[in-house]
């Protein structure tokens, strides 16, 4: 359905002579400049209602993780509840500022559709998680714990090198969204190499 709607938006933009510098700007440009103020308001309300829960969930999760894992709120008995609440507020505000800086940085330097960048980053970050999950799910082997971080770092590095030189190595084929599969497979094979029968 979304693919169909995207195609309809592109056809509509071509028939009306609407041009945008990035494909990410096509929908807001049509909604705000071509369809009138009512459609623009509906677009803004929909965008805010879709974006806020995601941003709020991410901010809350990061705040909780930072407070528990890094500030040791659960084990720290020297802080009162009021002090913990104050610290949580400052951590929450700091993470929100970091989010804003990251958004502004991406906005300045990206040169392709944002979804492509997100999928590329996910391919490098979630690939090892996929490999770890698959290894734990499908095998009963015991890994050598000291080498697990090495595998978790080497897999994305090798995947990056394969992606960078894929057109030379694979007769002109350029690796794209397959990054996560390759990364997960390399992690799985690395864990297999450093493991033994339980």
Residue 162, sorted as left (phi over 0), alpha (psi -120 to 50) or beta, turns out to be alpha
Arithmetic mean of pLDDT, 87-91: 91
Measured between alpha carbons, how far is 27 from 40 in angstroms, rounded to an integer? 10
Give the C-alpha distances (Å, rounded to integers) separating 37 from 13, 26, 70, 147, 189.
18, 16, 47, 58, 55
pLDDT for res 111: 59
Which of 43-57, 77-91, 175-189 has the weakest average pLDDT?
Answer: 43-57
Please report how the helices 37-65 and 81-109 are oriented relative to each other, as an axis angle in degrees rounded to 10.
130
Confidence tier at 110 by pLDDT (50, 70, 90): low
Report the Cα–Cα distance between both ends of the chain, in Å, rounded.
47
Arithmetic mean of pLDDT, 75-91: 86
**Confidence check: pLDDT of 116 > 80:** no
**Confidence check: pLDDT of 72 > 80:** yes
Task: Write down the pTM of the prediction.
Answer: 0.54
**Cα Rg, the chain, nearest whole Å:** 23
Arithmetic mean of pLDDT, 130-138: 91
Q: Three-class SS string for the chain?
A: CHHHHHHHHHHHHHHHCCCCCCHHHHHHHHHHHHCCHHHHHHHHHHHHHHHHHHHHHHHHHHHHHHHHHHCCCCCCCCCCHHHHHHHHHHHHHHHHHHHHHHHHHHHHHCCCCHHHHHHHHHHHHHHHHHHHHHHHHHCCEEECHHHHHHHHHHHHHHHHHHHHCHHHHCCCCCCCCCHHHHHHHHHHHHHHHCEEEC
Residue with tokens 């095998």: 139
The total of other beta-carbon atoms located within 10 Å of residue 163's CB is 19
pLDDT for res 94: 93
pLDDT for res 114: 66
pLDDT for res 190: 92
pLDDT for res 133: 92
**Confidence check: pLDDT of 100 > 70:** yes
Calculate the CA 123 to chain-centre distance.
9
172: tokens are 């002109």
pLDDT for res 109: 67
Which of 12-16, 114-118, 168-172, 178-182 has the weakest average pLDDT?
Answer: 114-118
């Amino acid at each position: 359905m979304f693919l169909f709607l995207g195609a309809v938006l592109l056809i509509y933009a071509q028939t009306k002579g609407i041009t945008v510098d990035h494909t990410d700007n096509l929908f807001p440009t049509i909604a705000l400049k071509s369809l009138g103020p009512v459609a623009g308001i509906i677009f803004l309300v929909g965008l805010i209602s879709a974006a806020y829960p995601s941003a709020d969930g991410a901010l809350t999760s990061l705040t909780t993780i930072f407070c528990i894992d890094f500030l040791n709120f659960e084990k720290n008995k020297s802080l009162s509840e009021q002090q913990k609440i104050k610290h949580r507020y400052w951590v929450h505000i700091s993470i929100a500022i970091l989010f804003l800086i990251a958004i502004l940085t991406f906005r300045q330097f990206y040169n392709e559709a944002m979804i492509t960048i997100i999928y590329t980053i996910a391919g490098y970050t979630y690939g090892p998680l996929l490999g770890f999950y698959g290894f734990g799910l499908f095998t009963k082997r015991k890994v050598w714990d000291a080498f697990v971080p090495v595998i978790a770092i080497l897999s994305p590095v090798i995947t990056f090198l394969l992606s960078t030189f894929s057109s030379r190595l694979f007769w002109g084929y350029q690796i794209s969204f397959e990054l996560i599969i390759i990364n997960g497979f390399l992690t799985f094979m690395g864990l297999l190499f450093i493991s033994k029968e339980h």
